[in-house]
C-alpha cells in the first residue's frame, strides 16, 4: 500500500524538473492518465473540481482508475457510471447535503458494482501530507474506536507512542500516480495560484508522481515572478498545463463562478427519479455528444454561466 | 399540545442549538442546521463566537440569504479571518483549539455514537449513506453538540455502524479506545434537550420543548431513555425567529 521510499525517490529523480513549457490540449493531457492509475482529484465537494479533465477521461474511455478526493460530489456519480472508476476513496460522497443522498452512489455501491472506501476527512489529508513529506505514515488521534477504522482493517496500524505510551493510529502515506488539479491561474511552466480555499491541493501536488493542471487562464512567468508569494504549486511538480475557461463548471471556482444551481437541481432531480437512466442520459448529453469544451459550455447555457459568474465575482464586491 | 406553533421543527432545532453556544467559544460547525445555528448565535448573543468550517475557514461571518450549500464553497469564506488547507483546519481540533464540534446526525445510539455510513450490514447495506466527512475527526477530538429530528428509527439502542464515536460502550470505553478528550455534550432534537450521565455515559432527557411530554420523547426513542429533573425550554422568541428567517429566507435548511 505504501510506496517504498527508494522507488518514490527514483521516480522523482527520473522526472524532468526543468523550467520548461508544458502547455497542451485536454486530449493530450488525458493520454498521461493510464488505465488502472491511482488518481487524486483536487478541490473539495463542488469547489475547483477538475471537471474538464474528468470530461476528457470519460471521452477517452479510461477505465479502472482508483480515484481519491477529500470529498466527492457529482463527479463521483459520473466516474462510476462511465466505468472510469469502480473504486473511490474519500471521506464523504453525495452531490451535497441540500440535494440529499446520491441515488447514483447508492445504486453502484449497494449493488456491489463499485466500491466507496471511506476514511475520515483528516485521515485523507494526513495520508496526502505524509506522501508529500516523503514519510511512510502519519500518526493521528482520530478514527480510533470507530467502525470506519474497523472497515479499513490492516491498512492502518495501532501504535503505542514510544515517548508517552499513548494509543495512536498510523495512517499510510498516499502517493497518487496522477493528481488532477484545477486552478484559477498558472503560467506555462505550471507555477499555479490558488485563490481562496486551498483544500488539500498543495499536498496532493507534492505527493503525486505526475500532476496535470487545468487553469482558467495562463498568465506569464513575469506575472508569477512579480508576486511569488501567491504561487502555491511549484512548476517542477507539474507535468501538464491545460487552459480551460470554466474548467470546473457546473461546480465552482473561487471568485470566478459559483455552482450552476439550476443545472445541479435538474441533475439531482433526474438521477433521483431514475439513477441509471438519469446519469446515462446526462453522460451522453453533456460528456459524449459535444464536440468541444466550448460546445459543452454552450449546453450549460449562457444564462446559467452569467448567473454563476455574477455570484462568483460578487465575493470581491465588498 | 394542540396550540398552533409559529415555527417549523428545523427552526426550533436552530434556535435551541444556537442558545447553547456561548460568546468567545470556538465552534467547528457542519453544514445545515449547525451552520445556521452558529450563524444565528453570532447575530443574537454571541458576536464573538468563532466559527470554523471544514473547507478551511477560520472565523467567517456568513452573509444573510447566502447560506453555502456545503462548508467547502466560497460562500463560507465571507469576512473570514483566515483561510487554510482542510488538513490544517481539522488539525486545530487535534491540537485542542476547538471548544465545541457541532453537527447533524442520521442515527444515534444511547451512548451518543453516530452513524452516517451504513444502514444495515456493512457488507450488504440496505442504504449506503454519504459517510463521515469530518464527522469522525470532530467527534473524536472535541466536545460535541448534535442536532437531529427525534424519531424512533434515528434513536436506537446501538447504531448499525459507528461513523463518529460518542462514548462507544459507555463508562470509560471512549478513553480506553484512545480518545481521552471530548465526547458527547448535548443532543438537541425537535422534542427535547438531551445530555449524558457523567458516569455511565447514557443519554438522558434534560429538558422538554414547549408542549412536549416525557411520554412523547419515550415513544419516539428506540431505547429506554432516562431523565434528569426534566425542565421545559422557553419557546423561540419573535426576535430569534425573525433573525433566523433573514439568514435563511429561502428556507434551505429550515423548511
Domain extent, residue A262, equals 5-136+173-316
Cα distances from B230 to residues A14, B193, B209, B218, B235, in angstroms, run 69, 9, 10, 13, 16
Please state the rounded mean pLDDT for residues B3-17. Answer: 89
Span of A51-55, A141-145, B65-69 with lowest mean pLDDT: B65-69
Number of folded domains that form chain A = 1
**All domains of chain B, ordered by start, with CATH?**
9-247 (3.40.1080.10)
pLDDT exceeds cutoff 50 at A81: yes
Contacting B residues, span 183-202, partner chain A, CB-CB under 8 Å:
none
Note whether residue A154 is domain-resident: no
**pLDDT at residue A306, rounded to an integer:** 98
- Distance from chain centroid for Cα A238: 15
Task: Tell me if A142 and B128 make a contact (CB, 8 A cut-off).
Answer: no
Task: Tell me if B130 and A101 make a contact (CB, 8 A cut-off).
Answer: yes
Q: Which residue of chain B comes nearest to A202, CA vs CA?
A: B85
Q: Which residue has the higher pLDDT, B186 or B63?
A: B186
Supply the CATH number for residue A106's domain: 3.40.1080.10
Q: Which residue of chain B comes nearest to A253, CA vs CA?
A: B74
Span of A58-67, A187-196, B60-69 with lowest mean pLDDT: B60-69
How far, in Å, CA of B113 to CA of B210, rounded?
A: 27
**pLDDT at residue B5, rounded to an integer:** 82
**pLDDT at residue B2, rounded to an integer:** 44
Mutant choice from B84, B107, B130 vs A, greatest count of A C-beta within 10 A: B130
Three-class SS of chain B? CCCCCCCCHHHHHHHHHHHCCCCCCEEEECCCHHHHHHHHHHHHCCCCCEEEECCCEECCCCCCCCCCCCCCCHHHHCCCCEECCHHHHHHHHHHCCCCEEEEECCEEECCCCEECCEEECCCCEEEECCCCCCHHHHHHHCEEEEECCCCCCCEECCCCCCCECCCCCCCCHHHHCCCCCCEEEEEECCCEEEEECCCCCCEEEEEECCCCCHHHHHHCCECCCEEEEEEECCCCCHHHHHHHHHHCCCCCCCC
**B129 shares contact with chain A (CB less than 8 Å):** yes
**pLDDT at residue A63, rounded to an integer:** 98
Note whether residue A312 is domain-resident: yes
Task: Tell me if B55 and A197 make a contact (CB, 8 A cut-off).
Answer: yes
| pLDDT tens, position by position, B82-124 | 999 999 999 999 999 999 999 998 999 999 999 999 999 999 9
Note whether residue A145 is domain-resident: no
pLDDT exceeds cutoff 80 at A271: yes
**pLDDT at residue A145, rounded to an integer:** 96
How far, in Å, CA of A77 to CA of A79, rounded?
A: 6
- Identity of the residue in A96, A147, A197 whose CB atom sits nearest the CB atom of B162: A147
| pLDDT tens, position by position, B14-26 | 999 999 999 999 9
Q: Which residue of chain A comes nearest to B131, CA vs CA?
A: A92
Please state the rounded mean pLDDT for residues A129-143. Answer: 98
**Do A214 and A50 contact (CB within 8 A), yes or no?**
yes
Residue matched to cell numbers 498545463: A241
Task: Tell me if A122 and B94 make a contact (CB, 8 A cut-off).
Answer: yes
Please state the rounded mean pLDDT for residues B2-12. Answer: 82
**pLDDT at residue A87, rounded to an integer:** 98
CA distance A293 to chain B (A): 24
| pLDDT tens, position by position, A219-264 | 999 999 999 999 999 999 999 999 999 999 999 999 999 999 999 9
**B164 shares contact with chain A (CB less than 8 Å):** yes
**B105 shares contact with chain A (CB less than 8 Å):** no
Task: Tell me if A106 and B127 make a contact (CB, 8 A cut-off).
Answer: yes
Note whether residue A27 is domain-resident: yes
Note whether residue A148 is domain-resident: no
**pLDDT at residue A1, rounded to an integer:** 84
CA distance A149 to chain B (A): 9
Task: Tell me if A121 and B132 make a contact (CB, 8 A cut-off).
Answer: yes
pLDDT exceeds cutoff 80 at B3: no
Note whether residue A161 is domain-resident: no
Q: Which of A195, A88, A119, A265 is nearest to B69 (CA)?
A: A265
Please state the rounded mean pLDDT for residues A191-213. Answer: 98
| pLDDT tens, position by position, A23-49 | 999 999 999 999 999 999 999 999 999
Q: Strand pairing partners for B104?
A: B147
Mutant choice from B126, B127, B133 vs A, greatest count of A C-beta within 10 A: B133
B4 pLDDT band, cuts 50/70/90, is low
Q: Which residues of B are catalytic?
A: 54
**pLDDT at residue B1, rounded to an integer:** 45
ipTM of the assembly? 0.97
**Do A124 and A152 contact (CB within 8 A), yes or no?**
no
Three-class SS of chain A? CCCCHHHHHHHHHHCCCCCCCCECCHHHHHCCCCCCCEEEECCECCECCCHHHHHHHHHCCCCCEEEECCCECHHHHHHHHHCCEEEEEECCECCCHHHCCCHHHHHHHHCCCCEEEECCHHHHHHHHHHHHHCCCEEEECCCCCCHHHHHHHHHCEEEECCCCCCEEEEEECCCCCEEEEEEEEECCCCCEECCCCCCCHHHHHHHCCEEEEEEEEECCHHHHHHCHHHEEECHHHCCEEEECCCCCCCCEECCCECCCHHHHHHHHHHHHHCHHHHHHHHHHHHHHCCCCHHHHHHHHCHHHHHHHHHHHHHHHCC
**pLDDT at residue A179, rounded to an integer:** 98
Chain B positions in Cβ-Cβ contact with residue A101 (cut-off 8 Å):
127, 129-130
Note whether residue A167 is domain-resident: no
B40 pLDDT band, cuts 50/70/90, is very high
Task: Tell me if A97 and B161 make a contact (CB, 8 A cut-off).
Answer: no
A202 pLDDT band, cuts 50/70/90, is very high
**B9 shares contact with chain A (CB less than 8 Å):** no
Note whether residue A141 is domain-resident: no
Task: Tell me if B55 and A47 make a contact (CB, 8 A cut-off).
Answer: yes
Span of A198-202, B4-8, B199-203 with lowest mean pLDDT: B4-8
The mean predicted confidence, pLDDT, of chain A is 97
**B170 shares contact with chain A (CB less than 8 Å):** no
**pLDDT at residue B63, rounded to an integer:** 85
Task: Tell me if B178 and A167 make a contact (CB, 8 A cut-off).
Answer: yes
The mean predicted confidence, pLDDT, of chain B is 94
**pLDDT at residue B254, rounded to an integer:** 82
Chain B positions in Cβ-Cβ contact with residue A145 (cut-off 8 Å):
140, 162, 165, 168, 173-174, 177-179
Amino acid at each position: 500500500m505504501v510506496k517504498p521510499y527508494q522507488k518514490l525517490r527514483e521516480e522523482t529523480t527520473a522526472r524532468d524538473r526543468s523550467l520548461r513549457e508544458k502547455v497542451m490540449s485536454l486530449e493530450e493531457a488525458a493520454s498521461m492518465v493510464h488505465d488502472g492509475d491511482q488518481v487524486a482529484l483536487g478541490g473539495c465537494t463542488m469547489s475547483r473540481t477538475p471537471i474538464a479533465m474528468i470530461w476528457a477521461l470519460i471521452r477517452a474511455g479510461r477505465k479502472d482508475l482508483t480515484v481519491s478526493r477529500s470529498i466527492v460530489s457529482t463527479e463521483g456519480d459520473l466516474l462510476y457510471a462511465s466505468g472510469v472508476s469502480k473504486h473511490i476513496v474519500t471521506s464523504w460522497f453525495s452531490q451535497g447535503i441540500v440535494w440529499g443522498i446520491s441515488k447514483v452512489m447508492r445504486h453502484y455501491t449497494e449493488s456491489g458494482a463499485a466500491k466507496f472506501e471511506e476514511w475520515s476527512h483528516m485521515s485523507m489529508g494526513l495520508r496526502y501530507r505524509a506522501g508529500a513529506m516523503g514519510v511512510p505514515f502519519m500518526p493521528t488521534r482520530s478514527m480510533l474506536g470507530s467502525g470506519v477504522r474497523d472497515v479499513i482493517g490492516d491498512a492502518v496500524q495501532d501504535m503505542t507512542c514510544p515517548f508517552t505510551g499513548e494509543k495512536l493510529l498510523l495512517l499510510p502515506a498516499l502517493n497518487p500516480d496522477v493528481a488532477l488539479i484545477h486552478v484559477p491561474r498558472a503560467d506555462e511552466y505550471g507555477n499555479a495560484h490558488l485563490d481562496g480555499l486551498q483544500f488539500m491541493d498543495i499536498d496532493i501536488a507534492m505527493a503525486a508522481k505526475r500532476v496535470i493542471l487545468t487553469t482558467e487562464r495562463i498568465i506569464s512567468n513575469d506575472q508569477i515572478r512579480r508576486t511569488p508569494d501567491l504561487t502555491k504549486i511549484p512548476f517542477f511538480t507539474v507535468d501538464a498545463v491545460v487552459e480551460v475557461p470554466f474548467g470546473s463548471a457546473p461546480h465552482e471556482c473561487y471568485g470566478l463562478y459559483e455552482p450552476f444551481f439550476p443545472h445541479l437541481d435538474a441533475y439531482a432531480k433526474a438521477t433521483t427519479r431514475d439513477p441509471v437512466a438519469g446519469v446515462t442520459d446526462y453522460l451522453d448529453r453533456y460528456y459524449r455528444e459535444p464536440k468541444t469544451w466550448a460546445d459543452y459550455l454552450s449546453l450549460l447555457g449562457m444564462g446559467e454561466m452569467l448567473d454563476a459568474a455574477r455570484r462568483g465575482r460578487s465575493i470581491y464586491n465588498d | 399540545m394542540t396550540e398552533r406553533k409559529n415555527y417549523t421543527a428545523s427552526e426550533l432545532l436552530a434556535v435551541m442549538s444556537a442558545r447553547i453556544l456561548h460568546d468567545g467559544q470556538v465552534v467547528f460547525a457542519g453544514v445545515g442546521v449547525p451552520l445556521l445555528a452558529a450563524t444565528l448565535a453570532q447575530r443574537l448573543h454571541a458576536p464573538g463566537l468563532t466559527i470554523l468550517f471544514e473547507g478551511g475557514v477560520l472565523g467567517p461571518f456568513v452573509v444573510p440569504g447566502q447560506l453555502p450549500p456545503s462548508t467547502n464553497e466560497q460562500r463560507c469564506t465571507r469576512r473570514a479571518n483566515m483561510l487554510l488547507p482542510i488538513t490544517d483546519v481539522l488539525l486545530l481540533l487535534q491540537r485542542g483549539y476547538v471548544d465545541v464540534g457541532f453537527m447533524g446526525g442520521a442515527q444515534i445510539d444511547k451512548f451518543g455514537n453516530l452513524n452516517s455510513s451504513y444502514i444495515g450490514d456493512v457488507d450488504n447495506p440496505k442504504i449506503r449513506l454519504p459517510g463521515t466527512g469530518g464527522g469522525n475527526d470532530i467527534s473524536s477530538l472535541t466536545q460535541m453538540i448534535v442536532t437531529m429530528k427525534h424519531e424512533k428509527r434515528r434513536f436506537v439502542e446501538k447504531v448499525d455502524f459507528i461513523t463518529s464515536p460518542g462514548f462507544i460502550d459507555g463508562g470509560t470505553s471512549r478513553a480506553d479506545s484512545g480518545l481521552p478528550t471530548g465526547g458527547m455534550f448535548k443532543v438537541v432534537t425537535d422534542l427535547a434537550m438531551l445530555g449524558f450521565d457523567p458516569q455511565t455515559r447514557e443519554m438522558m432527557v434534560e429538558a422538554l420543548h414547549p408542549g412536549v411530554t416525557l411520554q412523547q420523547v419515550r415513544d419516539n426513542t428506540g431505547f429506554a431513555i432516562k431523565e434528569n429533573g426534566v425542565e421545559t425550554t422557553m419557546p423561540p422568541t419573535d426576535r430569534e425567529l425573525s433573525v433566523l428567517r433573514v439568514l435563511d429566507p429561502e428556507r434551505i435548511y429550515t423548511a
